[in-house]
Structure 1
Amino acid sequence: MNNKPLTVFTLAARNLKGKPFRSGGLIFLVALFAFTLFGGTILAKSLESGMDSLSKRLGADILVVPYGYEADIQGALLRGEPSTFYFDAQITGKIAGLEGIDRVSPQLYIATLNAGCCAYPLQLIGYDPETDFIIQPWLSSMLKHPLGDGEILVGSSINAQAGQKLKFFNRIFTVAARLEKTGMGFDTSVFMNFTTAKQLARESERIQSHPVAQDDRLISSVMVRIKKDADVKGVANGILQAYAREGVAVVVAKNMLSEISGSLTGLSLFIYLLAGILWLLAILVLMIVFSISLNARKKEFSIFRVLGAPRSMLVKLILSESFLISLLGTVAGTMGAACLVFPFRAYIGSLLNLPYLQPAYGMIGMVALTSFFLSLTVGPLASIYAALKIGHSETYTTMRENE
């Protein structure tokens, strides 16, 4: 026989088990709130981290591209969407001579195929090591030598490590380093120097025609950094006025970041607003359920009182039941959110079309503790009224109401 003493918590657990449908519904409601709060906050923090990474990694104030390809350059940078667009490389020197320009660096984009010629269908980006101020600053801690011909850098989402071989357009390349996670399209891109990129374009001619194979003076974009005292809009307008007739368009990085920031702010506000509504709804529903339950259980409580149970024991019983409901719901909701937002973070980022970078473990821990505490308070807060009411009721009156 089980001779363990019957504690308030044990009795509360048995009461919940005896009403599985009601208890399950209340636990689900708390779980829904915990899921939304933890999962939504991690989502918002990941977007904030991605935005911060984008602002730090982009490095350019203005992006110069062929006219009509403004959206393509943003897709390549933000989401790693394979794109190909070209104009004459002479535009680099022309832009460098304009007022307010500090540094310029060309880049060359080559989209690979989803075929046997290539290991992955992704974006290849060629850069000029002599002028680059975007890619090379990342490499100081992971690559101790200049990127050589035939060597490539791979984004963090590409399944390859330093020293491995990858094939693009039937040519084998050596992975020199794997970049850190950025939350941008760079995570699914491959970087190489200009010489390697142009050689690769010529190799691709065996499979499909490529403009760079016919004219190696072509480039895809020019990254522009302006002087500290220069006005971004003024410099951008100056580039357009000087070279718009040559098919040149500009993308101002600050404007692109502002658009993304606006989308991020709206999404974050929606997440927190939804969590707040669910929190209030959970408390309200639990309060109503506990109040109704209190009226239905008056005889049960009066018997406890007749048997000598103090009012404090009844209060503890109600609070214990609500605490267990909150605990089970919080654990279920938090674990459910964790099983969704962490393993599928890459897919979530692609769905949102925004820079998405998982926050540091310390931040995740803080979010988990905060959301766990807030979710855990739902039940006790909702049951306070019912607990106080039963605590002040008189045994005789309660018994008479149930005769």
Structure 2
Amino acid sequence: MNRVELLAPAGDLEKLKMAINYGADAVYLGGESFGLRKASKNFSLEDIEEGIKFAHDRNKKVYVTLNIVPHDKDLYGLEEYVISLHELNVDAVIVSDPGMYSVIKRTVPDLQIHISTQASVTNYETIMFWYSLGVRRIVLARELSFAEIKGITDKIPDDLEIEAFVHGAMCMSYSGRCLLSNYMTGRDANMGDCAQPCRYKYHLVEEKRPGEYFPIFEDDEGTFIFNSKDLCMIEHIPQLIESGITSFKIEGRVKSSYYVATVIRSYRMAIDEYYKDPENYVYNSKWLEEIKKVSHRDFTTGFYYEKPTSDAQVYATSSYIRGYDFVGMVLDYNKETKVATIEQRNRMSIGDKIEIFGPSVDYFSQTIDKMWDENGNEIEVAPHAQQIIKMIMEKPVEKFYLIRKGKGD
């Protein structure tokens, strides 16, 4: 049985390494040009080179996004850039615009090109159009149901891969092709600079009653009418695999390393459990419980089970649900002394109850009894960003294990 690919977002080198260490088969990232996530740190060519080496040393893949919707001026330097990516041995680039596709194909004919969800591919004929041009992976539009996806995958050639989003933030515009951001703020979503106006609070103004603002939903505080819940398909792994999707894509290049590690870890566990015995696969609610320990909105299954209803929107707030804080990452561990060296990410104090977890292992809990700074001085609190501290661990840990703390702990 061909196993599906688990594809993770990588906003910077740390997130790339975290994604791979926590179970991703491949990562997608943006360079300093031509990609759709200006809000993430993104990668210089030197960073991409280091990331590719890290991934390839572990038999993982790296895809680079070149999925803006460009004007002529935005194509300047594209040939030189894709030549550099090809020389770095990138596994594929992700493109939405036919013009960019043509330039890349003409410049580096053997560079693999994936068609982005921004291209809004929703039907078999469009897929076969791209296939006839040499494309061997399509990222489907997010607006397709399981039935539509299965209808497509039953007909496509065996060497054509289908990628689809299975987790993360949902855009209210069709496959992310948003005009609101540019119109309202001057920030072009189709050039990677979305201001997320779909998360703003809106009221309705009637034409002949200027200045009178009516809540669109029965709520004194107004409504976030465009504010979609987050996509989450962790409970539907068999249906995803059996629909013929070959790559499960996680959204979130601007999310934290903690988010990437936690979400990838849960999907990795669920996918691996399925392949152990597909006929007798049993969903474990612990996987979703873990995902809920990162910053998230309420969840929806998006379009997978036909058109979303009003339940797919969050009307009361655009805020995230944050039950836990990411407070530290293990840098080193001494097995003899049981002392871990930790890089602090949020405030920790003596007496705090913390949870520690790593790839493919259950978390364990302990209370912080003692902490030392990097000079060996005992401390009561670690308040400084990225402060190096030490503490005894009740169970063995490894580099890249993460530490979280409940909001009430």
For Structure 1 versus Structure 2, the TM-score category normalised by the shorter chain is under 0.3
Using the size of structure 1 for normalisation, the TM-score is 0.22
Structure 1 or 2: more strand by fraction: 2
Structure 1 or 2: more helix by fraction: 1
Using the size of structure 2 for normalisation, the TM-score is 0.22
Select the structure with the greater relative contact order (CA < 8 A; seq sep ≥ 6). Answer: 1
